[in-house]
Amino acid sequence: MPETVVVVVNGVLVTMPVGSMVSAAILTAGVSSFRRSVSGEPRGPLCGMGICFECRVTVDFEMHVRSCQRVCENGMDIRTDE
Amino acid sequence: MNKTDFDCEVLIVGAGPAGLAAAYRVTQSGSRATVVDDNPDPGGQIWRGEKKKATSPEATAWFEKIRGSKIEFINGARVYHQPAEGILLAERDTEVCELRYQKLILATGARERFLPFPGWTLPNVMGAGGLQSLVKTGLSIDDKKVVIAGSGPLLLAVADHLRQSGAEVLLIAEQASRASLTRFGFNLLGQGGKTAQALNLKRRLSGVKYLTGCWPNAARGKDKLESVRLQRGTKTWDVDCDYLACGFYLVPNLELAHLLGCDVTDGVVFVDEFQKTSLVNVYSAGESTGIGGLELSLVEGEIAGFAAAGKEREARELFSIRQKQNKFARALNRAFELRVELKSLVAADTIVCRCEDVRFDRLQASDSWRAAKLHSRCGMGPCQGRICGAAVEFLFGWKTESVRPPILAVKVGSMVSK
């Protein structure tokens, strides 16, 4: 068994392998809309490498975190669509 | 913000294959190498995750070499500014790294080119490398239906990786024609695929449809992707899928080169035979000097590393290998040239700039990138035109090379810290 971490995505517990990115945890939670665009469209990850800013979410009350570059930590509170 | 100072002899920006190869040769030559990179681990995009669990023989060999050398790594740090010559600033978590260097090697790599088409902004429409990166960093793709589309050999590598990770790859849509691929020796899955890698992929991808001259012309779904409409010749059809992994070849990351003032010609950093840029003490290697794949990036990195450490004779010994790889790169770039039909995928109401939601019809009134920025805010959002820039270059032929510090969105504290 690989080691795991547990994070909270929009109030739901998600178990991920150690080293997973927050973006992977969000999709694993079944959430596909990471943020709303300026005209209100749902958006999700595009580039996977930290340049498009489409996957930005709120992590432990820090806003605009690029979820494809933030590694999951135990107990992390992740919120999308804010 | 806290500030940490780093005194670097040779500073390398980018920990992909070119950056790693450069750093290795620098330390081998008896100089000190510091590598700064924005990801949590070295490897760049192509070797993402390979440090912990190497699957490719090249990555295994190179990470072995790296382990035995004394390279200093600054991971998870994004370079955003040059306050004075010989100094770069990078943001890492809540601190600013001040990097003072004697020699600098830019190995900033490349990104996927994205082209707008109706529905491309829907969640679960991603880059091909984008989806691969997610899977490498924890997303389970088991039993998911995936369509892979766009252009370039990356599509095949992604298909292979996703399949091995349990995905059902429904098809690969390559926009280049079969004739174009064959003409330049890239009949990758057909007969005559020459390289060992192509043969290997051919075997591993058996059963997957590889359609040349085929591209997505719309993605559909309510709140996320449900199906993709594909086009091949005059035929169109819909395919239901969970993910569309779509990237149209690669474009070099040039923001830092522009910021420093390196000459850039034809969309790549200009370098001499020692990988030296137009600036004194600044070198560049890998995809930033032209898209050419792994082998070319490695040898360019080695040459830059030797040269920056003053070992020109050792650098020169690698010129013939680079020449051979350059020839391959030229053929590669010709084979996967974008077809003109892709310019008409975009509809009047298709969003081109995803940060500011600027539609195609709002851009049509402008005659330059600058005018478009002023009138529509296209390219003015957090990504600073990194995504839409390559698209409008292709759609309108605009040059999109203007950058200002900071070269990416940073915390306010990073700009005001002393």
Q: Mean per-residue pLDDT for B79-105?
A: 95
Query: Is the Cβ–Cβ distance between B114 and B389 less than 8 Å?
Result: no
Model confidence over B379-412: pLDDT tens digits?
999 999 999 999 999 999 998 876 667 777 777 7
pLDDT at B21: 98
pLDDT confidence tier of residue B155, bands split at 50, 70 and 90: very high
B381:A16 CB<8 A? no
Percent of chain B whose pLDDT exceeds 70: 95
In a shared domain, residues B119 and B243: yes
Domain that holds residue B205: 114-248
Model confidence over B288-330: pLDDT tens digits?
999 999 999 999 999 999 999 999 999 999 999 999 999 989 9
pLDDT at B205: 85
pTM here is 0.93
pLDDT confidence tier of residue B71, bands split at 50, 70 and 90: very high
DSSP conformation class of A55:
T
Q: Mean per-residue pLDDT for B211-234?
A: 97
pLDDT confidence tier of residue B120, bands split at 50, 70 and 90: very high
In chain A, residues with a C-beta closer than 8 Å to the C-beta of B130 are 45-49
pLDDT at B17: 97
Q: Best of B38, B79, B132, B137 to disrupt the A interface by mutation (most A CBs within 10 Å)?
A: B137
Query: Is the Cβ–Cβ distance between A35 and A23 less than 8 Å?
Result: no
Strand order in the sheet with A77-79: A12-17, A4-9, A77-79, A56-59, A62-66
Residue B415 lies inside a defined structural domain of this protein: no
Q: Is A15 left (phi over 0), alpha (psi -120 to 50) or beta?
A: beta
Instruction: Find the helix or strand (DSSP H, E) in which A27 lies.
Output: helix A22-28
Q: Is B38 on the interface with A (CB under 8 A)?
A: yes
B412 Cβ partners below 8 Å, 6+ apart?
none
* Residue length of chain B: 418
Bridge partners (DSSP) of residue A80 are none
B382:A53 CB<8 A? yes
In chain A, residues with a C-beta closer than 8 Å to the C-beta of B137 are 19-21, 23-24, 68
pLDDT at B55: 81
Q: In this model, does residue B417 exceed pLDDT 70? A: no
B382:A28 CB<8 A? no
pLDDT at B347: 97
List phi, psi (to 5°) of B145.
Answer: -90, 125
Between these two residues, B189 and B13, which has the higher pLDDT value? B13
List phi, psi (to 5°) of B336.
Answer: -105, 20
Alpha-carbon gap, residue A67 to A7, rounded angstroms: 13
Q: Which of B42, B22, B44 is nearest to B32 (CA)?
A: B22
The residue from B303, B333, B363 where one domain ends is B333
Q: Mean per-residue pLDDT for B79-102?
A: 95
Q: In this model, does residue B79 exceed pLDDT 90? A: yes
Residue B391 lies inside a defined structural domain of this protein: yes
pLDDT at B193: 42
pLDDT confidence tier of residue B1, bands split at 50, 70 and 90: confident
In a shared domain, residues B118 and B204: yes
Q: In this model, does residue B149 exceed pLDDT 70? A: yes
B260 Cβ partners below 8 Å, 6+ apart?
B82, B104, B106, B279, B282
Q: Provide the CA B213 distance to its chain's centre, in angstroms.
A: 23
pLDDT at B185: 74
Q: In this model, does residue A82 exceed pLDDT 80? A: no
pLDDT at B54: 78
Alpha-carbon gap, residue B182 to A50, rounded angstroms: 35
Residue B414 lies inside a defined structural domain of this protein: no
Q: Which residue in A16, A23, A38 is closest to B134 by CB distance? A: A23
In a shared domain, residues B6 and B103: yes
From B75, which residue of chain A is nearest by alpha-carbon distance?
A69
In a shared domain, residues B84 and B169: no
Domain that holds residue A31: 4-79
pLDDT confidence tier of residue B57, bands split at 50, 70 and 90: confident
In chain A, residues with a C-beta closer than 8 Å to the C-beta of B132 are 48
> How many degrees, rounded to 5, is the angle at CA B152 between CA B151 and CA B153?
140
Counting the structural domains of chain B, the total is 3
Q: Mean per-residue pLDDT for A28-52?
A: 96
pLDDT confidence tier of residue A81, bands split at 50, 70 and 90: confident
Cis peptide before A42 (omega within 30 of 0): no
A70: CATH: 3.10.20.30
3-class state of residue A30 by DSSP: coil
Bridge partners (DSSP) of residue B145 are B168
pLDDT at B82: 95
List phi, psi (to 5°) of B48.
Answer: -65, 130
In a shared domain, residues B120 and B231: yes
β-strands A4-9, B78-84 pairing: unpaired
Q: Mean per-residue pLDDT for B5-31?
A: 98
Q: Is A68 left (phi over 0), alpha (psi -120 to 50) or beta?
A: alpha
Q: Mean per-residue pLDDT for B352-362?
A: 97
pLDDT at B353: 97
In a shared domain, residues B118 and B244: yes
Q: Which residue in B130, B135, B138 is closest to A47 by CB distance? A: B130
Residue B404 lies inside a defined structural domain of this protein: no
pLDDT at B36: 98
Residue B127 lies inside a defined structural domain of this protein: yes
Which chain A residues have any C-beta within 8 angstroms of a chain B C-beta? 16-17, 19-21, 23-25, 27-28, 32-34, 37-39, 41-54, 56, 64, 68-69, 71-72
Alpha-carbon gap, residue B37 to B15, rounded angstroms: 6
Q: What is the CA radius of gyration of chain A?
A: 12
The residue from B248, B265, B294 where one domain ends is B248
pLDDT at A72: 97
Model confidence over B317-327: pLDDT tens digits?
999 999 999 99
B320: CATH: 3.50.50.60
B354:A52 CB<8 A? yes
Q: In this model, does residue B199 exceed pLDDT 80? A: no
Q: How far is CA B359 from CA A33, B130, B378, in A?
A: 20, 23, 9
Counting the structural domains of chain A, the total is 1
pLDDT at B418: 46
Bridge partners (DSSP) of residue B106 are B13, B284
Give B111→chain A minimum CA distance, Å. Answer: 8
In a shared domain, residues B97 and B123: no
From A55, which residue of chain B is nearest by alpha-carbon distance?
B123
pLDDT at B188: 56
Q: Average pLDDT, whole number, for chain B? A: 92
pLDDT confidence tier of residue A2, bands split at 50, 70 and 90: low
pLDDT at B191: 44
Q: In this model, does residue B195 exceed pLDDT 80? A: no
Residue B340 lies inside a defined structural domain of this protein: no
